Every structure is written in structure tokens, then in C-alpha cells.
Amino acid sequence: MTEIFGVPIQALFGQLMLGLVNGSFYAVLSLGLAVIFGMLNIINFAHGALYMTGAMLAWIFLEYLGVGYWWSLLLAPVCVGLIGIAIERLMLQWLYKLDHLYGLLLTFGLALMIEGLFRDLYGVAGQPYSIPEELSGAFNLGFMFLPKYRAWTIVASLSVCLLTWYMIEKTRLGAYLRAATENPRLTQAFGINVPLMVMLTYGFGVGLAGFAGVLAAPASQVGPLMGSNLIIVVFAVVVIGGMGSILGSVVTGLALGIIEGMTKVFWPEASATVVFMIMAVVLMIRPAGLFGREK
């Protein structure tokens, strides 16, 4: 078998794909964080918990209602988005005039509540969620086997990212959104309902997290703790990339996923910490982040 740097090529590409899968989750989650931050000036700590909620909802739909993967892929993000809208209306909207830190603290409290609730209901152990039939099996690419579900995850997340980018940068709604981010008062004066846009933005941002959660459900065990460790890595991704640009956060997310995957091959002990190490280096060299601008 062919080897590169003493690693079998099969294993190398396997980890590369796994890294890409993780990277596409980082991309979708950091994109959601960036969209929310741009509009609400809030770092959504509950993002990981809502990602987990998406996955748990998919599992609950299947387990209790018999709703399959494809419907869940549509319904769970919508449900998570509605939860997000409720959170924004009931709580977050009272914090916009205060220091940004309060938004972080409130969403942290929410994350604890959501996580604790699911832990109380379903225990800590993960639940299996099987891959839908259409996507089980693998493509034979000649030099490696590519599991269909992994390929689907990457394609689906990147399409969602691209769609979001298109919506924000190229449509009229996106133009309103960008205007409201830049100067909410002036935008409001032009007759655009800014509070409504803020509400929808938050709903959409956490909906993205819910979507990522459903995508992740068959790829790993579905459990209450799946979001909290992920969100800290995503924070590091956001610090590395900066939240200034959408494509920036997508590229950073993917790149870090790949780097993490490669670290698993060449230096397994560091695979859990490599993203944080990169963050430390970036902070030393370019404190504003790779794509960021200091405000």
C-alpha cells in the first residue's frame, strides 16, 4: 500500500475527510455566530446547546414520532429557529443597550439550562442515530473509500454556507441586513423594521446551528454533551478568523478542521488542543484575527 510520510494513504485521506466533516461543522457554527454577532452584538454561548438541541430533536422525532432524517433536516432547524425567536423576544431584546458581556452571560445561563434539561430527561449517554438508507455505504474512489454520508455532510454544509453568503451579499433582504448592521438607527429611519430583522437574524443563526446538529446526528452519537465542547472550539475558530467576513469564517472553519484531522494522524496527543494552540499563535502575530478588523 502507498504511504506518505510513513502513514498509509488510506488512513491519511480518511482523516482528511473526517477533518473536512468537522471543519464544515465549524464553518456552519462560526457562520451562525458571526451573523448573530454582526446584528445583535452578542456572542451566542447557547449556540452549542442549540446545535445539540437540533440533533436531539431529530432523534426524538424519529424515536417517538417516526419522522425520518430528511423531514428532520427541515423541521428540526425550524423548531430550533423558533426557540431562538422566543429567546430573542423574551430575553435578549432587553439587553441590547447594556454591555455586550451580559448577552454572553445570559446565553451561557441558557446553555446550562438547555443542557441540564436534556441531561435530566435522557441521561448523559449518547443515543445512536442511524444513517439514512440513501446515504449509507461508500463511494470507491480507487485510492480510498469515501463514505457517502461524510460526502453528503460536507456538500450540505458548504451549500448552506454558500446560500447564506449569497443571501446576505446579493439579495435585497441581505442589503437591508447589512445596512441594519452598519447603522441600525438610520436603517430604521428609512422605514425598515429593524427589531424584526434582529429577531429573524437570531432565529436564522441558531437555525443554522440546529441544521448542523441534525447533520451531525448520524455521524456521531446524539447526546446532551455534544454541543458544549464543540462550542469552545468554535469560539477559538471565531477568534482565529475574526467575525468580519462570512467567507472568512467558512474558510477558517474548514482549514482548522483539516489541520485538526491531520494532527490526529501525525501527532494524536495534540489533536484536541491544536486549534487552541493555533489561536495562541494567531493572537501573538495578528491579534485582530486573520480576516478581522479591530473595531
Residues near 198 by beta carbon (within 8 Å), at least 6 away in sequence: 39, 40, 88, 93, 180
CA–CA separation, 62 vs 45, rounded Å?
A: 27
CA–CA separation, 192 vs 180, rounded Å?
A: 9
- Shortest separation between residue 122's beta carbon and other proteins, angstroms: 10
- Specify the stretch interacting with other proteins by CB under 8 A; choose among 126-134, 189-197, 257-265, 274-282: 274-282
- Shortest separation between residue 71's beta carbon and other proteins, angstroms: 29
Return the DSSP state at 130: P
Of the pair 71, 122, the CB lying nearest other proteins is at 122
- Specify the stretch interacting with other proteins by CB under 8 A; choose among 4-12, 51-59, 105-113, 199-207: 105-113
Q: Which residues pair with 127 in a beta bridge?
A: 222
Cα distances from 157 to residues 22, 47, 113, 206, 276, in angstroms, run 10, 16, 28, 14, 23
9 binds other proteins (CB under 8 A): no
Binding to other proteins (CB under 8 A): which residues in 18-37?
A: 37
E strand intervals along the chain: 3-4, 7-8, 138-140, 145-147
Of the pair 1, 124, the CB lying nearest other proteins is at 124
One residue of 11, 67, 91, 262 binding other proteins per CB under 8 A: 91
One residue of 102, 145, 165, 176 binding other proteins per CB under 8 A: 102
Burial (CB count within 10 angstroms: exposed 0-12, middle 13-18, buried 19+), residue 51: buried
Q: Which residues pair with 199 in a beta bridge?
A: none
- Specify the stretch interacting with other proteins by CB under 8 A; choose among 5-13, 152-160, 174-182, 233-241: 233-241
111 binds other proteins (CB under 8 A): yes
117 binds other proteins (CB under 8 A): yes
How many other C-beta atoms can be found within 10 angstroms of the C-beta atom of residue 148?
A: 16
Binding site for other proteins (CB under 8 A): 37, 43, 91, 94-95, 98, 100-102, 104-106, 108-117, 119-120, 228-229, 232-233, 235-236, 238-239, 269, 272-273, 275-277, 279-280, 283-284, 287
